[in-house]
Structure 1
C-alpha cells in the first residue's frame, strides 16, 4: 500500500479498533440493500451516460450538424476537458466529509440536466446554434461527470467490499447495458430512423434523460457508513495540486497505473471515428446506427459479467490486460474490415474490450492507498485520463481531416500497447495486501 502520509488527515471521534469493527459490521449488514440500490441505479440511472459515451449517436449527431470531422473531435474533446477540470476539485469537496452521499446525489442530477439540455437544444435549435449548444452541454456533462467519477467511486469503496465489487460492477453494467442497448436499438430504428417528433436524435436524448432520471432515485436507498478517517478541514484546490507529485512518488505501482490509464485513454482518440469510418463502407441509416449501437452496448453488457467474475477472483490488473488486448484486436478488425458483418463483429469486440478497460480503470484505483487518500488518488488518475481523452479526439479530428481514419486507429493501437506494457509491471495490489498482513 502507499506509504505517503497526509499530515492533514485526522481520525473522526473514537476511531479505534471497536469503531472499525462497527464500521465493517454496518457494511455487511447493509450490503444487500446497498447492492440492490446500485443495481437499480445501474439499470436505469446510467442509461443516459452509456448512450452519451457510445461511439454512435453523439458523433453522428455532431457530424450531421457540422459535416466536419474536426468538429466531432472538438465536441467530444469538450466533454472530456470538462471532466479534466473538475476531478481534483471534486476530491476537495469530499475529503473532509464523513459521508459523501449528498454530493453524489446532487452532482448526479446536475449531470442529467445536461442530457436534458442537449435534447431540448436539438429540438429547438439548428445549424451552428445547435452545434454550439451541444458543445456547451457536453462540456458541462463532462465537468459534472468528473466530480461524479470521484465521489461515486469513494461511495462505492465504502459500501461494497472489495471482493464483491467485481460482481456488482458486472451485474450493474449488464443491467444498465441491457437497458441502454434496447434504447439504442429503438432510438436508431424508430426515433432517428423515422425522425420522431421532428428530430430523432433529440427524441433519443430525451428518452435517455427520462430513464436516467428515474434511476437516480434508487441511490436514495443507499446507507453509507461514516468514514473512520477524513481530512481535518476542507482543502484548497491549489494546495491539493501541489500534493500530486508526492502521491505519485510514494508508490511506484500506483504511478505505473496512473501512466497506463493515461496511455490507454489516449487510445480513445479513435472512438468517435469508429462509426464514421464504418460509414465509408455502409450507409449510416437510422437502422444501421441502431445495429452498431446494439452491437457495441450489448457486447459491453454481456462481457461485464465475465469481467466482474475475473476481477473478484484474480483482480482488476488481469481485467485491464485482457480488456485492452480485446480492444486492440477489434480495432485491427475495424481497420481491415469492409463489410457490415465484419464491422458489426468489430463493434462487438470494441464494446467488450472497451468495457473491460473501463471496469478496470474505475475500480483498480480503489485498491491503492489509505482511506483518506482515496479521493485524491481517484481524482489524479481521472484527471490524467480525462485530459488524454480531451486531447485525443481533437488530435484525431485533425488527423482524420488530413490523412483519413486509418492513421488514427494505428496511433491508438500504439498507445494501448504501451499501456499494456506498463500494467505488466504492476504488482497485483491484493497480493501486496496479503503479504503485508503476513508481515504484520
Structure 2
C-alpha cells in the first residue's frame, strides 16, 4: 500500500510514472511475451488439445469413465489452487519470482506424464497419469492467475487482443506441425516404446524453453497494492466483490456455464474414432484440424477484440462452437469430421481469448488477481465436473447426449452475456 501520508497529487504522479514505464518497456515486454507464448502455448496445446491426452488415457484404460476422471483431476487441481495463487501475489509489487516457481513445477508434471508412460506398466501408468494431470492442473491454476495479472501490468488493454491472437497464431502453427508428427510418427511408430510419451517429452522441452523467455520481462511496480491478507479472510470478501459489479457477476456466471460446455471436449476424438477409426494418423490429422484453425482464427479474434471488445468475441465464438458440434454429430468421412474439428478449434480458441481477457477489464487493478482467480476457479470447477459427468453419460448413453448437454450450456452462456453484460470498455469512454 502507499504511505498513509501520500497526497492525491503524489499518488497521481506515481500512477503517471507507472504508465510511462509500461509504455517505455512495451516493445521489450511485448516481444518476451510473444516468444514465451509461442513456445509455451505450443507445448501446452499438446496436453490441452482434445486428442492426445484423451486418446492416451483411453489406450491405457479402455474406459470413457477413466478418460473423464483423468481430465477432471486436471481441472479440479486448477480450481482448488487459483484463489490460493491470488493470495500469494496480490500484496506483491512484483509477481515474476513466484511465477517462475509455479511455472517450473507445472512443467515438471508434463515430464512426469511422459516418463511414467515410458517406464510403468499400463495400470501404474494410468494412475500416474491421473496424478500428474491433477498436479499439472494445480500449478496451472496458480500460474494462470500470476501470468494473466502480469500481462495486465505490462501490456495496455488496447494491445492485448492482438498480442494474444498473434501469440496463439504462431503457437498454433508450430503446435499443428508438432501434433502432426506426434500422431503420424511418434504415435504411429510407437517412438521410444510409447509414442504418446515421446510427444509429451517434446511438450516439456518447448514449455521449459518458453519459461526462460520471461527472464527478459521488465515488470513495473504499481503505486498501490493490497495489504497481505490471510487466505480465509480473503474468501470471506468474495461475495462483496461479486456484488460490487452486477455485470461482472453475470459474466462470471456465463463463463462458468460455458466452461461446463467443455463436458464434451475429451469425447470429440472418441466419437470421431467410432465414425472413422482412431489410428495415429487420424489423431494427427484431427489434431492439425483443431489446432490449425484455432491458430488461423486467433489473429481475427484478437483484432476483433481490440476493435470492438472481448464481449463480442465471447458471443461469436460460443455460437461457432455450438454450430461445429452440430456438424460433427452429422459428419461422415475424414474430411467432414476434420472440418468440424476445425470449427471446434476456432470456437474454442476465441472463447479462451475472450474469457481470459474480458475478466481483466472489470474493476480496480489492486483487486485484479483475486478477480482472475475467482473466475478461473469457477471455470475450472465446471471443467472438472464436466468430463467426469460426461464420462458417466457417455458410457451409459451416447456421445450425442453428451454433446447435447454441452451445447445447451454454451447457448445459455451466450444469451446471458448477449442480454445482461455490457462492454466494460465503454465505461471508460
TM-score category (smaller protein): over 0.9
Query: In structure 2, the residue corresponding to 1:16 is in which secondary structure?
Result: helix
The answer to whether the aligner puts 1:168 opposite 2:194 as a matched pair is no
The answer to whether the aligner puts 1:11 opposite 2:2 as a matched pair is yes
Conserved in 2, the CA contact under 8 Å of 1:183 and 1:208?
no
2:411 and 2:365 mapped to 1: Cα distance?
32
Query: In structure 1, the residue corresponding to 2:220 is in which secondary structure?
Result: coil
Query: In structure 1, the residue corresponding to 2:276 is in which secondary structure?
Result: coil
The answer to whether the aligner puts 1:413 opposite 2:407 as a matched pair is yes
TM score, norm. by length of structure 2: 0.97
Conserved in 2, the CA contact under 8 Å of 1:79 and 1:138?
yes
The answer to whether the aligner puts 1:345 opposite 2:339 as a matched pair is yes
- Structure 2 residues without counterparts, runs of 5 or longer: none
Conserved in 2, the CA contact under 8 Å of 1:12 and 1:227?
no
The CA deviation at 1:46 is: 2.1
Match of 1:238 in 2: 232
Q: 2:315 aligns with which of 316, 321, 328?
A: 321
* 1:406-425 Cα shifts (integer Å, max 9, x gaps): 00000000000110011111
Stretches (4+) displaced over 4 A: 12-15
Conserved in 1, the CA contact under 8 Å of 2:258 and 2:409?
yes
Match of 2:274 in 1: 280
Conserved in 2, the CA contact under 8 Å of 1:180 and 1:297?
yes
Match of 2:356 in 1: 362
The answer to whether the aligner puts 1:64 opposite 2:55 as a matched pair is no
The answer to whether the aligner puts 1:266 opposite 2:260 as a matched pair is yes
Conserved in 2, the CA contact under 8 Å of 1:12 and 1:228?
no
Conserved in 2, the CA contact under 8 Å of 1:170 and 1:308?
yes
Query: In structure 2, the residue corresponding to 1:164 is in which secondary structure?
Result: helix
Q: 2:386 aligns with which of 373, 383, 392?
A: 392
1:111 and 1:403 mapped to 2: Cα distance?
35
TM score, norm. by length of structure 1: 0.95
Match of 1:115 in 2: 110
Conserved in 1, the CA contact under 8 Å of 2:225 and 2:366?
yes
Q: 2:147 aligns with which of 145, 152, 161?
A: 152
RMSD: 1.0
Match of 2:241 in 1: 247
Match of 1:375 in 2: 369
**1:42-191 pair list within 5 angstroms:** 42-191=37-186
Q: 1:299 aligns with which of 283, 286, 293?
A: 293
Query: In structure 1, the residue corresponding to 2:92 is in which secondary structure?
Result: coil
1:128 and 1:176 mapped to 2: Cα distance?
33
Query: In structure 1, the residue corresponding to 2:186 is in which secondary structure?
Result: helix
The CA deviation at 1:163 is: 0.1
2:42 and 2:99 mapped to 1: Cα distance?
17
Match of 1:221 in 2: 216
1:338 and 1:244 mapped to 2: Cα distance?
48
Q: 1:289 aligns with which of 275, 280, 283?
A: 283
The CA deviation at 1:11 is: 2.8
Aligned length: 424
Conserved in 1, the CA contact under 8 Å of 2:15 and 2:222?
no
Conserved in 2, the CA contact under 8 Å of 1:193 and 1:200?
yes
2:267 and 2:85 mapped to 1: Cα distance?
30
* 1:349-375 Cα shifts (integer Å, max 9, x gaps): 000000000000111000001011101
1:110 and 1:179 mapped to 2: Cα distance?
24
Q: 2:198 aligns with which of 195, 199, 203?
A: 203
Match of 1:431 in 2: 426
Conserved in 2, the CA contact under 8 Å of 1:12 and 1:230?
no
The CA deviation at 1:48 is: 2.0
Query: In structure 2, the residue corresponding to 1:224 is in which secondary structure?
Result: coil
The CA deviation at 1:12 is: 6.0
* 1:158-200 Cα shifts (integer Å, max 9, x gaps): 0000000001000111111111111101100110010011110
The CA deviation at 1:287 is: 1.0
2:48 and 2:102 mapped to 1: Cα distance?
18
The CA deviation at 1:432 is: 1.3
* 1:115-171 Cα shifts (integer Å, max 9, x gaps): 000000010012210000000000000000000111011100000000000010001
2:18 and 2:351 mapped to 1: Cα distance?
31
2:223 and 2:422 mapped to 1: Cα distance?
27
1:200 and 1:147 mapped to 2: Cα distance?
30
Match of 1:404 in 2: 398
